[in-house]
Every structure is written in C-alpha cells, then in structure tokens.
Amino acid sequence: MTKYNGFDVLHAHAQRLQGTSIPTLMATEPDRVKNLALNVGPLYVNFARQKYDRAALQSLLELAAARDVAGGFQRQFGGERINITENRAVLHSALRGDAGNTPESMAAHAEAAAVQQRMGALIQQLEASNVTDIVSVGIGGSDLGPRLVADALRPARGARFRVHFVSNVDGAAMQRTLATLDPATTAGILISKTFGTQETLLNGGILRDWLGGSERLYAVSANPERAAKAFDIAGERVLPMWDWVGGRYSLWSAVGFPIALAIGFEGFGQLLAGAAQMDAHAASAPLERNLPVLHALTDIWNRNVLGYATHAVMTYDQRLALLPAYLQQLVMESLGKRVKLDGSPVDADTVPVWWGGAGTDVQHSFFQALHQGTSIVPADFIGCVQADDPYTVNHQALLANLLAQTEALANGQDSEDPHRQYPGGRPSTLILIDALTPQALGALIAMYEHAVYVQSLIWGINAFDQFGVELGKQLANQLLPALQGEAVEIADPMTREILARLR
Ligand code: F6P
C-alpha cells in the first residue's frame, strides 16, 4: 500500500474549519448545494450538510487516489482473491451483471445466471401449487438482506405468497410464526451458506417436523450436499451459492429466493439490474463523481478526522424500516477490524457503531439526544419522492419532517436560555429515491456495499472475513451440552456459577 500521510493534512483542514458552521459553509460557497449533489440512476444524494469544504474534500479524494480505490474496484470486479485471509474472490457483482469483464467474473456470472433460471422454475412450481405461505429460515447474511428487501417491496395487498422470516434461535420466534400458519399450505426455505449454523439447523429441524417432512422444504447453500443430506431434501430443491459470495453480500444470489417469492421473479431481476447499474457507476465514474467513493470518504472524515463514534441511518420511509439492521451487519461485520491485511495494527479507528430507525417515529424517541446531546451523530437521511400509498398529506408531512430535521440538526437555533439552545453543527447526508422500486433499492444497497469496500481500502483492512464472530459460536456449542446436563469442564468461574444456577 502506498505510504500516505494524508491524515495529517485532513486534520489540518479540520482545525482550519473548526469555527465554521454548516450555514457559513453554505454561505461562502454559493453553489455548494448543487456542487455536492450527485444523481446516479434513481438516487439523488447530497453531501452539502457535511462539515467539509472543497479543499478538505480534495484532500479526501487524494487519499482515495493514494489508496488506489479505482484499482481496488477493478481487482474486486475482476475476481481477484482480495479476501486474502480466506483466499477467496469477492464477486457479488457477478450475481447481478459483469462489471469485471474477466474470464473469472464472466464464469461466475454464467453460473449465477444458471442458478437464477433454476430458481425461476422452482417459483413457477410453487405458484402452481396450493402453497400460500413461505417460512424462510436463516440468520445474518442469510436473513437480513432477504428480510429487508421482501419487507420493503412486498405489495400492500394481493401478493401471491406471504413470506415469513425466522432467524433467532429463541424458540419463541418460530412458535409465533408457526402459530399463524397451516402446514398444508406452507413451504419452507432453509438458507445457510455453511449449513453449519446452530440457529438455522435447530429452526430448520422444527420447521421440517411441523411440515411433516421435507417434501415442501427447499434449501440454499454453498454446501448443497450437506443441506440435502441433513434435511433429506431432493437435489432439485437445493440451490447452490459459492464461496466467492460473502454471506452479507449474498441477497443477490439464490439467498434471495424469498425475495423473488415475495415480489415476483421479474421484480428480483429489476433489483439485480439496479445493483448492476451501481456497479457500472462505481467501476467507471471518476473519484470526485463516484457516489460510493464520496459516501465512504464522508464516513472517513466523520470517523477519523472529526472523531465521531457512531453513525445513524434514518429512513423516512416505513418500508425501509429494516435498513438500519441490514446495514449494521453489512458495515460492522465488514469493517469491524483492528488489523490490516498484513496483520499489523490499523493506523486509525475503524468502523463506528451504526444504528438508526424510521422517521418520524425516531423523532419522538432518540432525536432529543441528537439535537442537544453532547455526542454528535452524523447521519444518512433517506426518503422517497413518491409514495406508494394513497395518503398524500401523510407523505407530504413525512417529507416535511425529513427536511425540517436535517435543517435543524445542521443549523441549530440560538436562544438566551441554554435549555432552549440548539447548537447545530450536526452533519447529515440526504439520500432521495425517486420511488421505491426494486431497481432503486438494488442501487441503494449496492451503493452501501461499495462504500464499505472503499473504506476497507483506506484503512487497509479485509472487509470480507468475519473471524470475530467465531469465538462466541464455539463457546455456545461447548456450553449447550452443559445446559443439557452433561458433565462439561468449565474453566471460567462466572460461567460455571451461572450454569449451576440455570441447571
Ligand atoms: O454472524 C456470522 C455469520 O457467519 C455471518 O457472516 C453469516 O451471514 C451468518 O453467520 C450466517 O451464516 P450461514 O449462512 O453460513 O448460516
């Protein structure tokens, strides 16, 4: 990696801008609102309420150039094994197009297209059957993406299938879902890249028993033999995925089977097309007009230069209410790292805590802290220009609130009474979607995926492994027999004591 001391330059910019408010930035750069806006397909994104100016942004772009972000995209899209700790390519872009145009990416794209055809045929069979409800069992990347997209895009009425998601190992989740369903008209999909995940194996077993066998059970896995064997599922009902697709990047693969059932196979194709459009943009746009790059650099500025410890996502659209949960995995599992690719400690703080919720609800819960608390929380505010419901005034009110909050957070308001003062200076990025179509949602999610990758290039870390989640899984597997009454040697005194109480 090129040695670059750009962080010193960035800190100097922050020092220079310390006393400059967001309204002053707006006033001193008359075209700022236009200059810091970008239109990519159905997305309009505006960074004008961030606390940087042209010179600071220029230094951020130099940092991106020094880290060879453009080359990084090429390596990823082309199928190089950039996930070096697992010696894997990272080709989720090949699931939705071929931004790489290399033999590796073309081969991956062809495999993905063939599986999509198989998935389409299975959907047709299900459509011709008496099945009305689908229970999708999976967790993490095998759940959050499909759950988000199915919830965001499902028609308000008249869907062919009702799709339900069960992820938590807590039996209450499965119990509550099954309580509303009839096994005679329900089918199940078990989704697990590894097919070794405790939650999915246990919940899959419950579902199979409740269905009375595996006849209406489907599976998606990178280990299809294991899936077929463990649940006795016929091979034609097991769809493959590959080690070159990370779990949290997998909704575009057959992991999206529940999405295609919830919104239709055609809608699933449009979702992929929207993401492919963002891939093409990421691969070809110059850094200064590259949306994922600008989004990532803004996050770097807020995290590493201004030192903000968290980042929020406010969806001013109820249909996107699950987006913060989805992004928590995408961003924090990818960027929650403390060593660089060569194993040495990182030079700067990595991922902040991502969180958020749906407006306007959150205005009445945690927004007080955002306006007047001591911690500044940079945020993405996401809204849709067109609604899909008939309640026009509600939609106008929703957008009025979105605009009001971003303005109040940035500009603040003075008062002689300190209790009534709004300090302002709270930065946000505005993301407007024309209408929440499958294509637009595909583009939005792909934008975040690429922004994650750009940040990993800047920090020099691997965004595609997740060893941090393994230790807890191993311990839980060791402790389960102890809870079942087996004599297990427990070294930790606290765990030993609590186990005794639980028994
Ligand atoms: O939470 C850790 C994790 O490994 C995620 O990365 C993954 O998406 C999830 O578990 C589920 O894994 P699988 O698809 O193999 O069941």
The CA-CA-CA angle for residues 496, 497, 503, to 5°, reads 90
Does 395 qualify as catalytic in the annotation?
no
The CA 392 to ligand 1 mean position distance, Å, reads 41
- The residues, ordered by sequence, that sit 6+ positions from 10 with a Cβ below 8 Å of its Cβ are 56, 59, 60, 63, 301, 304, 305
- Measured from the Cβ of residue 434, the count of other Cβ atoms closer than 10 Å reads 15
Q: Whose CA is nearest to atom 5 of ligand 1?
A: 140
Give the position, in ligand 1's atom list, of the atom nearest the Cα of 255.
Answer: 14
- From 90, 136, 137, 142, give the residue whose CB has the most ligand 1 atoms within 8 Å, as the site to mutate: 142
Spatial CB neighbours of 112, under 8 Å, sequence gap ≥ 6: 94, 95, 252, 253
Beta strands 162-166 and 353-358 are unpaired
Pairing mode of beta strands 217-221, 238-240: parallel
Q: Where are the alpha helices (DSSP H) in 460-492?
A: 470-483
What's the rounded Cα separation, in Å, for the pair 254 and 335?
Answer: 25
Give the per-residue pLDDT at 5.
Answer: 64
Taking residues 292-300, report their average pLDDT. Answer: 98
Stated pTM of the model: 0.97
The arithmetic mean of pLDDT across residues 82-102, rounded, is 96
Give the 3-state secondary structure of residue 460: coil
Return phi, psi of residue 380, to 5°.
-95, 125
Q: Which of 366, 350, 346 is nearest to 358 (CA)?
A: 366
CA distance 72 to 452: 12
Strand-pair category, 238-240 with 310-316: unpaired
Helix (H, G, I), strand (E, B) or coil at 205: helix
In tens, the pLDDT along 12-55 reads 999 999 999 999 999 999 999 999 999 999 999 999 999 999 99
Determine which residue's CA is closest to atom 10 belonging to ligand 1: 140
Structure tokens at 322: 């699950």
Torsion angle of C-alpha atoms 95, 97, 98, 99, degrees rounded to 10: -110
Known active-site residue 127: no
- Give the E-state strand segments of 7-142 in sequence order: 37-40, 43-46, 133-137
38 CA distance to ligand 1 centroid (A)? 34
Mean pLDDT of all residues in the chain? 96
- What are the residues facing 165 on neighbouring strands? 136
pLDDT (0 to 100) of residue 4: 53
pLDDT in tens, 368-398: 999 999 999 999 999 999 999 999 999 999 9
Question: How far apart, in whole angstroms, are the C-alpha atoms of residue 63 and residue 11?
Answer: 13
Q: Residue 165 C-alpha to ligand 1 middle, in angstroms?
A: 15
Residue 239 has pLDDT above 80, yes or no: yes
pLDDT in tens, 402-454: 999 999 999 999 999 999 999 999 999 999 999 999 999 999 999 999 999 99
Set 215, 236, 470, 473: catalytic member: 473
Q: Dihedral of CA 440/441/444/446: which sign?
A: negative
Query: Bridge partners of 137?
Result: 166, 190
The question of whether 34 is a catalytic residue gets the answer no
Q: How many residues does the chain have?
A: 503
The pLDDT of residue 3 is 45
Rounded CA gap, 255 and 240, in Å? 9
| Residue having the nearest C-alpha atom to atom 3 of ligand 1 | 140
Catalytic residue among 364, 416, 486, 489: 364
Please choose, from the candidates 473, 503, 495, the residue with its C-alpha nearest in 3D space to the C-alpha of residue 196: 473
Check pLDDT > 50 for residue 2: no
Using CA atoms, how far apart are residues 42 and 40, in angstroms rounded to an integer?
6
172's tokens: 């209450």
Pocket (CB within 6 angstroms of ligand 1): 139-142, 192-194, 197, 200, 247-248, 333, 466, 469
Secondary structure (3-state) at 430: strand
Q: In sequence order, which ranges of 316-384 are alpha helices (DSSP H)? A: 323-327, 334-335, 367-372
Q: Which phi and psi (to 5°) does residue 358 adopt?
A: -100, 130
Q: What sign does the CA torsion over 103, 104, 106, 107 have? A: positive
ipTM score here?
A: 0.98
DSSP conformation class of 491: -
Structure tokens at 419: 């209790």
What is residue 6's predicted lDDT score, i.e. its pLDDT? 73
Looking at the DSSP assignment, which residues form a beta bridge with residue 190?
Answer: 137, 219
**Phi-psi category of residue 89: left, alpha or beta, with phi > 0 → left and psi -120 to 50 → alpha:** beta
How many angstroms does the Cα of residue 473 sit away from the middle of ligand 1? 11
Using a pLDDT cut of 70, give the percent of the chain over it.
99
Type and span of the H or E element at 173: helix 171-179
Burial 408-427 (b: 16+ CB within 10 A, else e): bbbbbeeeeeeeeeeebebb
Q: How far apart are CA 300 and CA 453, in angstroms?
A: 12
What one-letter code names the amino acid at 414? D
Catalytic residue among 333, 337, 449, 450, which? Answer: 333
pLDDT digits (tens, 9 = 90+) for 122-178: 999 999 999 999 999 999 999 999 999 999 999 988 899 999 999 999 999 999 999
